[in-house]
Amino acid sequence: MMKLFDVYPLYPIELMKAQGSTVWDKNGQEYLDLYGGHAVISIGHSHPTYVARMTEQLSNIGFYSNSIIIGGQAELAEKLGRVSGYPSYQLFLTNSGAESNENALKLASFHTGRKKVVAFTKAFHGRTAGAVAVTDNPSIVAPINDTSHVTFHPFNQIEGLSDVITEETAAVIVEGIQGVGGIQVASTPFLKALRQRCDETGAQLILDSVQCGYGRSGKFFSHQYAGINPDMMTTAKGMGNGFPIGGVLIAPHIQASYGLLGTTFGGNHLACTAANVVLDIIEEENLLANATQIGAYIEQELAGIQGIKEVRGRGLMIGIELEEAVGPIRDALLHQHHIFMGYAGKHTLRLLPSLAIDQAIADRFLESLRSVLKG
């Protein structure tokens, strides 16, 4: 019998149903989902409008390739430009975060004719060849992906940027808030310094917004807190609320030509419908304001809980650094309190819930965390 390639350590839980921020396993046990399948569930599980529009789209046409007009793509570009505050940018659609970063790096290289890339310590950008080469984790970089084109500079360190970003640099790639790296927010002076040095050298500034984008930080893109404009932003995760879709938002000075980039599945009918519904719901339900408000409430309440060393992040992308090891705390939250949470490293809990959670959900989480940390 064929077996699965065993790369994921699994919880012995099989989910059968989901609604909003509640999920149920096959024994009928209910859980509170504050992890969103890793920052993917942006508008809540099985939102009725999402289900209705996806079902309708599937019954009309589910897929066709990029050789014909797919109306949902232009609709998505218009909506995404408006909601994100980048109406003059161009959109290339992909299927995942890694693929978005891969294409952004390629575009920077095509545009500048250069090969070198600057990335940052603890960065995670995905697992395809280019994306993993700019990821600061040697254990997931295969020999074939190991390249001398990439230099890693300390995250949030301005000193030395002018030595490392030069006229040979094609791209600088950075997460607005590092996710896998433990919820570390790129500081405003750091992002401004990157923008300035890229302007001086012609290097293209790519903001990997796969995890911290799409409203998670309370603004559409977290770098908007710093008031800078990147040359490209990459997205995925929350974009389709679970249906695979990613995108590269591309500044007007970067020119397209036929055949420069391409994909079979990127921007198909179902994917565009998913992304269009997500943006509609983000607007209709005011989810950016909700993420800001509930995020601020959670951060304020966390400040009074014993056993917490530091709280980092913005909006509903919150890292809670604990004094003790995170593993047993996360297990107690899951198995005793039935709450799904993320983690990063050995001490940090990661909160990545739907952007639609309300205060009652926040209170249930806070109560459970207080009780687990006391125990």
Ligand X SMILES: Cc1ncc(COP(=O)(O)O)c(C=O)c1O
- By CB under 6 A, name the binding residues for ligand X: 96-98, 101, 124-126, 175, 179-180, 208, 210-211, 236
Taking the complex as a whole, the smallest distance from the CB of residue 213 to ligand X amounts, in Å, to 9
Whether 244 and 95 have beta carbons less than 8 Å apart is answered as yes
Give 210 or 288: the residue with its C-beta nearer to ligand X.
Answer: 210
> What is the Cα–Cα distance from 208 to 220, expressed in whole angstroms?
13
Give 247 or 361: the residue with its C-beta nearer to ligand X.
Answer: 247
Taking the complex as a whole, the smallest distance from the CB of residue 48 to ligand X amounts, in Å, to 26
Give 100 or 368: the residue with its C-beta nearer to ligand X.
Answer: 100
Residue 85 forms beta bridges with which residues?
Answer: none
Give 97 or 215: the residue with its C-beta nearer to ligand X.
Answer: 97
What's 146-206 look like in SS3?
CCCCEEEECCCCCCCHHHHCCCCEEEEEEECEECCCCCEECCHHHHHHHHHHHHHHCCEEE
> What is the Cα–Cα distance from 265 to 94, expressed in whole angstroms?
7
- Tokens 């603890």 sit on residue: 122
CA neighbor of 291 nearest in space, from 369, 238, 232, 228: 238
Taking the complex as a whole, the smallest distance from the CB of residue 134 to ligand X amounts, in Å, to 10
Taking the complex as a whole, the smallest distance from the CB of residue 186 to ligand X amounts, in Å, to 12
Taking the complex as a whole, the smallest distance from the CB of residue 124 to ligand X amounts, in Å, to 5
Give 240 or 361: the residue with its C-beta nearer to ligand X.
Answer: 240
Helix, strand or coil, per DSSP, at residue 296: helix
Bridge-based pairing of strands 177-178 and 184-185 is: antiparallel
Whether 104 and 247 have beta carbons less than 8 Å apart is answered as no
Give 130 or 295: the residue with its C-beta nearer to ligand X.
Answer: 130
Taking the complex as a whole, the smallest distance from the CB of residue 154 to ligand X amounts, in Å, to 18
Closest CB to ligand X: residue number: 97
CA separation, residue 325 to residues 186, 321, 322 (Å)? 25, 9, 7
